[in-house]
């Protein structure tokens, strides 16, 4: 995961640009839903604003960092994901796989949904169908007390959500929670809540168990490996600087993994070279 911090004002402006009447219609719908105290629409309208989110997210899934098709054809590959589920929240299906989570915590399991956020643009992010439909569904584990009625931003923050919202400037930077050892996502912290968040995100989205996802990361490391090597050997030419700068671009697929690998070339070039060789093997033995 990588961060794309966006303010509510910027998000709303982008939505208005792509779908000028959406905000007004969404507000009307939200008023009815909030009055009813539950989400029960037969047909929604949030798909209309996909392009606003895909722009901010550089056409990448907010959770797994896969690059999806450009907006012209890509909308079909995307879901607008409700970070906080609009309907009932499902309990974790297999809590034992999350050893660092306080399972007895009041909000760890399921609960009622966040119906009052169904049309809140700050509750949206673009996600691939694998991450949204298969992996996350209506899961939303929290370590604190779950809000069951319209809450203030402070009350929502007090829920201590395990998942991380990549567009929310107030949430943690995902790269401070999760880093990479080669192609494998690993927690950036050894213990504490940040460790628990990383464990849950890695497990819930199966970031290390999806073959094509891991292979894509390997291909990214292969793509830049030769340039990292040249830089390590002292090549300071403008071309190498330009390419390494590109490797740090948040718009490339799996930028978080590539950045971690770049840091490894600085800290432990021997291991970085080993990983590069391993990734080459993975890439050319498909
Ligand atoms: Zn995804």
Q: What pLDDT, in 10s, does the model give residues 224-281? A: 999 999 999 999 999 999 999 999 999 999 999 999 999 999 999 999 999 999 999 9
pLDDT in tens, 69-122: 887 777 788 899 999 999 989 888 776 666 666 544 544 566 679 999 999 999
- Residues 215, 158 share a domain: no
For position 275, what pLDDT does the model report? 97
176 domain residue, yes or no: no
Rounded distance, CA 58 to CA 254, Å? Answer: 12
**Domain end residue (candidates: 145, 168, 191):** 168
187 domain residue, yes or no: no
Contact 57, 167 (CB under 8 A): yes
- Residues 224, 99 share a domain: no
- Residues 80, 29 share a domain: yes
Q: How far is CA 236 from CA 19, 199, 221, 232, in A?
A: 46, 38, 20, 9
For position 95, what pLDDT does the model report? 65
DSSP string, 208-236: TT-HHHHHHHHHHHHHHHHHHHHHHTT--
Ligand 1 geometric centre to CA of 136 (Å): 10
Range of the domain at 229: 211-283
181 domain residue, yes or no: no
For position 106, what pLDDT does the model report? 45
Rounded distance, CA 280 to CA 4, Å? Answer: 30
Ligand 1 geometric centre to CA of 27 (Å): 28
| pLDDT at residue 130 is higher than 80 | yes
158 domain residue, yes or no: yes
Rounded distance, CA 214 to CA 273, Å? Answer: 18
Ligand 1 geometric centre to CA of 62 (Å): 7
194 domain residue, yes or no: no
- Residues 232, 160 share a domain: no
Ligand 1 geometric centre to CA of 61 (Å): 5
- Residues 163, 28 share a domain: yes
- Residues 129, 46 share a domain: yes
Residue 254, phi-psi category: left (phi > 0), alpha (psi -120 to 50), beta (remainder): left
pLDDT band at 149 (very low <50, low <70, confident <90, very high): confident
Helix (H, G, I), strand (E, B) or coil at 183: coil
Q: What is the 8-class DSSP label of residue 95?
A: G
Contact 60, 71 (CB under 8 A): no
53 domain residue, yes or no: yes
- Residues 162, 74 share a domain: yes
The rounded mean pLDDT for the chain is: 92
| pLDDT at residue 212 is higher than 90 | yes
Neighbours of ion ligand 1 (CB under 5 A): 61, 63-64, 128, 131
Give the chain's domain count. Answer: 2
260 domain residue, yes or no: yes
98 domain residue, yes or no: yes
Ligand 1 geometric centre to CA of 226 (Å): 28
Rounded distance, CA 101 to CA 162, Å? Answer: 9
């Amino acid at each position: 995961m990588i961060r794309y911090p966006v303010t509510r004002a910027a998000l709303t402006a982008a939505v208005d640009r792509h779908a000028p009447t959406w905000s007004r219609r969404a507000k009307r719908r939200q008023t009815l839903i909030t009055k009813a105290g539950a989400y029960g629409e037969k047909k929604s309208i949030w798909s209309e604003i996909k392009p606003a989110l895909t722009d901010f997210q550089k056409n990448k899934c907010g959770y797994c960092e896969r690059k999806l098709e450009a907006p012209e054809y890509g909308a079909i590959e995307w879901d607008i994901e409700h970070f906080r589920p609009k309907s009932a929240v499902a309990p974790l299906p297999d809590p034992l796989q999350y050893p660092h989570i306080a399972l007895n915590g009041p909000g760890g399991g399921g609960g009622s949904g966040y119906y009052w956020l169904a049309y809140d643009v700050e509750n949206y992010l673009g996600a691939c169908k694998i991450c949204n439909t298969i992996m996350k569904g209506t899961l939303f584990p929290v370590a604190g007390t779950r809000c069951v009625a319209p809450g203030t931003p402070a009350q929502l923050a007090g829920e201590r959500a395990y998942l991380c919202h990549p567009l929310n400037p107030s949430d943690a930077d995902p790269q401070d929670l999760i880093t990479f050892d080669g192609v494998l996502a690993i927690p950036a912290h050894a213990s504490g809540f940040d460790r628990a968040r990383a464990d849950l995100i890695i497990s819930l989205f199966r970031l290390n168990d999806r073959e094509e996802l891991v292979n894509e990361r390997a291909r990214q490391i292969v793509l830049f490996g030769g340039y990292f090597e040249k830089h390590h050997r002292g090549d300071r030419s403008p071309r190498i600087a330009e390419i390494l700068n590109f490797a740090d671009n948040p718009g490339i697929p799996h930028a978080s993994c590539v950045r971690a690998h770049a840091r490894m070339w600085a800290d432990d070039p021997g291991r970085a070279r080993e990983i590069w060789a391993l990734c080459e093997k993975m890439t050319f033995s498909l």
